[in-house]
Structure 1
Amino acid sequence: MANSSQKKIAHENAKTLLSLRKGFIWVNAFYVFYRIIYHFGTFGFKLAFGYFATAGLTVFLYTQINAMGQPRYNSKGELADAGQDLSQEGLVQYAFDIIYVTWFVHVTSALWSKMWWFYISIPAYAGWKAWHMAVKPMLARNAAAGAGPSSAASGSADGVKSKRREKMEKRAEKGPAVRYR
């Protein structure tokens, strides 16, 4: 079957996008009916601003995911491109995580307004990832560079060459090996 993997990706993306649409409808309907209609007396400007700002963020992320995951067809109606695989790791998964955290905050803050503080977990996680992926390796690299040229030239942290390293250096001094049959 031609393009079977592309067809599978397009089918999985369609299922994922449908579940996102359903989730968005259910979560927002629950929030609107429970918090805004049923408990309107407790729904003030701060909650309205928070709800509409985070709902707008969710809509923005959904439109981005939808644009990336939509399949493209050629003039004959055949699948030309399945779109980006929405189940792969990377920024798409972070967008899904933000959507899911937003939904969690919407559902729980409909019941208890202090749950908006849970939304801080998003920048906290981003900071933690940035620390481990960028800042910590950069600091480790700077610490290794500041150790001195003698240890960097020897190939190890304590200044002692390994036997393997010495053999490699001796072979490099001899030149390229020529083999005859």
Structure 2
Amino acid sequence: MANSSQKKIAHENAKILLALRKGFIWAFYIAYRIIYHWSTFGFKLALGYSVTAGLTVFLYNQINVMGRPRYNSKGELSDAGEDLMQEGLIQYAFDIIYVTWWVHVTSAFWSKMWWFYLAIPAYAGWKAWHLAIKPMLGRRNAGNAAAPSGAGAGAAAASGSAEGVKSKRREKMEKRAEKGPQVRYR
């Protein structure tokens, strides 16, 4: 038998999945853009719409599989599924769905709104820079500064810069980091 937190997660997931199902407003786009403005609806728009609509259906199915509660043979909740409110890839999938819906609705009035779809790879690049690339560059530069050798050591000593000299606080923090995380009990 599931506890109350599992039941709460299952209830919240059901509400979220219902809201997503209601959000698929393809009929609006089809009725307005294709029927009323057939002369401006070309192959590129049809292809873009098909690809992005397929992407949202795929992401919705993935979210649905992850967030769907599972019940045992007695009808009791055995697994609430993944919490759809947690951060991470699930939230990115929601963001892609919402951006796609926004582009579909606004592009019914102005075709140039498809350019807004570039916000997704731009955000992914920004996140990749801050979460992966920048820290790796920082480690490489920190490794060179921590263990200077060859011409770099002579240049640092000759210039008398403060980069080669560590403060006592910095040394203490590095020693603490070498020990690893410590658990504190009250």
Same fold (TM over 0.5): yes
Following the alignment from structure 1 to structure 2, what is the Cα–Cα distance between the partners of residues 127 and 13? 29
1:21 match? 21
- SS in structure 2 of the partner of residue 146 of structure 1: helix
Q: Amino acid of the residue matched to residue 115 of structure 2?
A: W
1:7 match? 7
Please give the per-residue CA displacement for 1:78-117, whole angstroms capped at 9, x wherever unaligned: 1000000001100000000000000000000000000000
Q: Is the 8 A contact 2:2 2:77 kept in 1?
A: no
- SS in structure 2 of the partner of residue 111 of structure 1: coil
Name which of structure 1's ranges 91-100 and 34-43 shifts more when overlaid on structure 2: 34-43
TM-aligned CA distance change 1:159 to 1:113, over 3 Å: same
Q: Is the 8 A contact 2:6 2:79 kept in 1?
A: yes
Matched, 1:144 2:150: no
Q: Amino acid of the residue matched to residue 14 of structure 2?
A: A
1:98 match? 96
Moved over 6 A (4+): none
Matched, 1:162 2:168: yes
**TM-score, structure 2 normalization:** 0.81
2:75 match? 77
Q: Amino acid of the residue matched to residue 159 of structure 1?
A: V
Structure 1 gaps, min length 5: 151-155, 170-181
1:49 match? 47
Following the alignment from structure 2 to structure 1, what is the Cα–Cα distance between the partners of residues 31 and 84? 31
Following the alignment from structure 2 to structure 1, what is the Cα–Cα distance between the partners of residues 146 and 9? 51
What percent identity do the matched residue pairs reach?
A: 73
TM-aligned CA distance change 1:73 to 1:146, over 3 Å: same
- SS in structure 2 of the partner of residue 84 of structure 1: coil
TM-aligned CA distance change 1:95 to 1:164, over 3 Å: closer
Structure 2 gaps, min length 5: 149-161, 176-186
Following the alignment from structure 1 to structure 2, what is the Cα–Cα distance between the partners of residues 163 and 33? 66
What is the CA distance between 1:30 and its match in structure 2? 1.0
Q: Amino acid of the residue matched to residue 95 of structure 1?
A: A
Q: Amino acid of the residue matched to residue 91 of structure 2?
A: Q
TM-aligned CA distance change 1:122 to 1:67, over 3 Å: same
Across the aligned residues of Structure 1 and Structure 2, the Cα RMSD in angstroms comes to 2.2
Following the alignment from structure 2 to structure 1, what is the Cα–Cα distance between the partners of residues 118 and 171? 49
Following the alignment from structure 1 to structure 2, what is the Cα–Cα distance between the partners of residues 38 and 165? 70
Q: Amino acid of the residue matched to residue 76 of structure 1?
A: K
**TM-score, structure 1 normalization:** 0.83
Following the alignment from structure 1 to structure 2, what is the Cα–Cα distance between the partners of residues 157 and 14? 56
TM-aligned CA distance change 1:163 to 1:109, over 3 Å: closer
2:120 match? 122
Number of residue pairs matched by the alignment: 161
What is the CA distance between 1:29 and its match in structure 2? 1.3
- SS in structure 1 of the partner of residue 92 of structure 2: helix
- SS in structure 1 of the partner of residue 85 of structure 2: coil
